[in-house]
Structure 1
Amino acid sequence: MPRLFPVVASCVASLALAGPALADPPAPPQSAKSKQIVIISFDSAREISQWQRSRALAQRTGAHFTYFVSCVFLLSPETRNDYAGPGKSAGKSNIGFAASKQEVADRLEQIGLAASEGHDIGSHGCGHFDGKGWSKADWLAEFRAFDHILENAYSINGIVPEPVGWRDFARHAVTGFRAPYLSANKALYEALPEAGFQFDASGVSPGPAVPPEKGGTMRFSLPQIPEGPKARSVIAMDYNLYVRHSGGFERPSMAAEFTERTYRAFRAAFDKQYQGKRIPLELGFHFTQMNGGAYWDALERFAGEVCVMRQVECISFRNYVTRRRAGERQAIVGG
C-alpha cells in the first residue's frame, strides 16, 4: 500500500516547531532578548546516506533544516534528456544526474520523509549552471524545469506507486531558492517573485544580517565569519572552508584539525550573536564529504550543543519567513 504523502499544509504547520569550555554561555534574562535563531541548509542534496544522517541529526537535536534540491538528481541516466538548461542542449548538467532509477526512487522517498518531519524543501535549480549572465527569461525557464521535474518525477522515471498528495506537495511546498555558486544577478531578483518564491538565500554578507524583504522576496545572506589562527573572514559554508583549509584538495589526514577549526569558528560566531544582538546565524553545507568529513563532524558537534539550548531555535528558512511575516501582520493589526 503506498505511503500517503502529507499535503503541504501539514508540512507548513509542522515547521512551527563537545567542547565543555565552549558550552552554554551565560544568557541574559529571557525577557530581554528573543531566542537565538540558527538556520542550517544543504545544497544539491544528493547522497542518500547524507539525507539519512542529517535527518537523524535533526531528530536528536530538534532542528529543522532547509534542503536546496537540484532537480537533475531526480532524473536517471535514461530520463536525463527531460532537462535542458538555458542555452544548453538536453541532458547536460554540471553535476551529473542520478545514477539509476532506484536512486531517484530513494531520493524521492527521502524528500517525502524530510518534508513530513517538518523540514523545508527548496530549489537549487537543476543543472548547477552559473546564471550570472542569464536573463529573466532564462531564470524563469530554469524554475519551470525544476517545477516540472519535481512534480512529475515519479511518472517521468516510471516509479510506482506515486504517493498520494505528491503533486500537490510539489506545486506548493517549494518557496525558496539558492543560486548555484551563490551567483545571483539583477535578472534573478526580477524573476523570483514572478515565479512565486518567498525567499532567496543566494547572498553573502560581511557578518550575520537580518534579511531584508524586497519586491516580495526575503533575501538571506550567508555571513562571513572569522576562522583560523589569524581569524580571517570566510563564508560560513563547508565548501569555502574546504578551499580555505586545503586549497580545494582532499587532505583527510588533517580531518581532525579542520574539524576543530570549523567547530570553533561556528561556535565563536554563534556565541557573539547569542551574547549580543541575537541576529540569525546562517550556515551552509553540501552532502559531499570534504576533507574526511571534517565539516559534517563539526556541524554535528555544533548543532548537538546549541540546537538543544533553551534560548536557541534551529529552524528552516521557510519557518523564519513564516514567523516574521506573521509577526509583522500582528504588529500592523495590533497598531
Structure 2
Amino acid sequence: MREISRRSLLGAGLGAAATMAVAGCGTGLAIGSDPPGQEPGRGGAGGTGGGRTPRPTEPPVRLIGDGSTADTGKQPHQPEDPEPLEPGDIPPQFVVFSWDGAGEVGNGLFPRFLELAENHGAAMTFFLSGVYVLPESKKTLYRPPNNPVGASDIEYLSDDHIKDTLTYLRRAWLEGHEIGTHFNGHFCGGSGSVGNWTPAQWENEIDQAVSFVTEWKTNSGWTDMDPLPFDYRKELVGARTPCLLGQDNLLPTARKLGWRYDASSPGGRQIWPVKRGGVWDLPLQAVPFPGHSFEVLSMDYNILANQSGNSTKGMPSRYPGWREQATEAYLSGFQRAYESNRAPFFVGNHFEQWNGGIYMDAVEEALKVMAGKKDVRLVSFRQFCDWLDVQDPKILEKLRTLGVGQAPTGGWNSFLQDVDGASAPSAA
C-alpha cells in the first residue's frame, strides 16, 4: 500500500511537535447467535467478558437485496445494557482497538487479531474500505469525488483476498465486533483529496461504500458464498476518514445519516470526549513516546514514521528496540489515563507487516497487559457510545474537567458526589 506523506501534529499540552503520519494505507461460517437468556461471551460496555458461549444451529435468516447481506437478528456476544455512573463510582477504563481498511491480504493478520480478541474478551472496530470487497475487474463502478472513474490510492484486492476478507468480516460480526467504514479510495493529496470534499461528496462516497458491501454478490458473481450476517445500512454508525482529513465537512453528513460518532480527528488529547455537530468526536490521541520529549499519535503508522521515516522496511537490527518502544508508547498512554482521569484510550492500526511486523507484535503485547487490569473494558466504538449515551450529561461534564493525567482531587469517591442538578441523559 502507498505510504502517505506526514504532517506535524499540533496539540495543546504537547512538547515539541510530534510527527503525525496519516492512515495509509476460508471457510464458510455458520450464521449463529447467543441463545435467548444466555450470558454473552464477549467483553464490552457491560463487563470485561468471560468464556465463549456455544452458538445454536442457525437462526432465521432474512436475505437483503441480492443476498450479499442478511438480517440474522441481534448481534451475538454483546455486553449487557450499560448503566449510568452513580455518585462515588469509579469510571471504567475503556480501550478501543480499531483497524483501518480491514482487508485480509494473505498475511493472516485479520484472523490473528480475531483470535487475540476472543482469548481476552475484547471487542474491536473494523473500519472497512469499501473497495476491498469490489473486484478490480469492476472498478469502473467506483466514481470517487474529484478523481477519475475507478481511481484508488489503495490497491484493489485480488479475488481470493476479497473472499478471505468477506469470511473474516462475517466472523468478526458474529464474534461481537463492529464493522464501520474507512470509505473507499483513500485519497490524501491534490485536488481530489478527501480534505477538499463537500458534505454532498462525502454522502456520495458513503453511498458507494455501502453499495459495494451490500451488492458484492452482484459485482463478483460469487452467489454460492454466505452473506454477510448483518444489515450494513443499520449497523454502520461511525467511521474514520482516510488520512484523518475532512472531518469538518463529513460531520454534517454523518449527523444526517444518523451516525453516532466519528473517529477521524488527529491530535486528540487523553480527556473525556465531547460531541461535535451532534456526533461523538472520538479522536486518535497523543501519547508519551519513550525516549523523546514530544508525544506521538496512538496509531501504528505514526509510531513508524517517528522511527523509520517514510520507510516501512527500516534497519532490521533496530526492530527489537523499535518494538519495545512502540509497546511502551501504547502502555504509557493507557497507564496515564488508567491511573488518573480514566479517559478512554483509542488505538488505530493497519493489517500490515511494516518493519518486520513489529507494530502488530506491540499491539498484541499491549492488549494482553491491558486486558489483565481491573476495571478495563476492551470495547468497540459503538459499545463505548452505548455507554456514553446513558450517562448523565452533568457527570460527563464533570469528567471533562480533568486534564490529561489529572486524577480527581480527593479521589473518585468524592469527585462525583457534588454534581449538581443531575438529570437523565438527553436524546441530543
TM-score of the superposed pair, with normalisation by structure 1 = 0.88
Match of 1:55 in 2: 114
Q: CA deviation at 1:194?
A: 1.4
Asked if 1 retains the 8 angstrom alpha-carbon contact of 2:247 and 2:265, the reply is: no
Counterpart Cα distance in 2 of 1:127 and 1:8: 30
Q: CA deviation at 1:333?
A: 7.1
Counterpart Cα distance in 1 of 2:218 and 2:31: 17
Match of 1:140 in 2: 203
Asked if 1 retains the 8 angstrom alpha-carbon contact of 2:124 and 2:379, the reply is: yes
Decide which moves more: 134-143 or 151-160: 151-160
- Structure with higher RCO (Cα < 8 A, 6+ apart): 1
Which of 19, 33, 55 is the matching residue for 2:90? 33
Match of 1:269 in 2: 333
Q: CA deviation at 1:80?
A: 1.6
Distance 1:150 1:5, change over 3 A: farther
Q: CA deviation at 1:195?
A: 2.5
Q: CA deviation at 1:8?
A: 6.7
Match of 2:240 in 1: 178
Q: Which has the larger radius of gyration?
A: 2
Q: Say which SS state the counterpart of residue 95 (structure 1) adopts.
A: coil
Match of 2:360 in 1: 296
Query: How far does the alpha carbon of each residue in 1:226-273 deviate from its partner, in whole angstroms, 9 at most, with x for none?
Result: 103124211110001111001121223322111100111111111111
Residue 98 in 1 paired to residue 157 in 2?
yes
Residue identity opposite 1:108 in structure 2 = L
Equivalent positions of 1:64-83 (< 5 A) are 64-83=123-142
Counterpart Cα distance in 2 of 1:53 and 1:304: 14
Asked if 2 retains the 8 angstrom alpha-carbon contact of 1:43 and 1:286, the reply is: yes
Relative to its length, the structure with more helix (as a share) is 1
Q: CA deviation at 1:321?
A: 0.5
TM-score of the superposed pair, with normalisation by structure 2 = 0.70
Counterpart Cα distance in 2 of 1:266 and 1:72: 30
Asked if 1 retains the 8 angstrom alpha-carbon contact of 2:117 and 2:123, the reply is: yes
Asked if 2 retains the 8 angstrom alpha-carbon contact of 1:222 and 1:235, the reply is: yes
Match of 1:23 in 2: none
Gaps of 5+ in 2: 1-27, 34-70, 81-87, 189-193, 394-421
Q: CA deviation at 1:46?
A: 1.8
Residue 243 in 1 paired to residue 305 in 2?
yes
Asked if 1 retains the 8 angstrom alpha-carbon contact of 2:31 and 2:174, the reply is: no
Distance 1:8 1:133, change over 3 A: farther
Distance 1:191 1:89, change over 3 A: same
How many residues are paired up?
318
Q: CA deviation at 1:162?
A: 4.9
Counterpart Cα distance in 2 of 1:147 and 1:206: 28
Residue 280 in 1 paired to residue 307 in 2?
no
Residue identity opposite 2:78 in structure 1 = L
Asked if 1 retains the 8 angstrom alpha-carbon contact of 2:104 and 2:164, the reply is: no
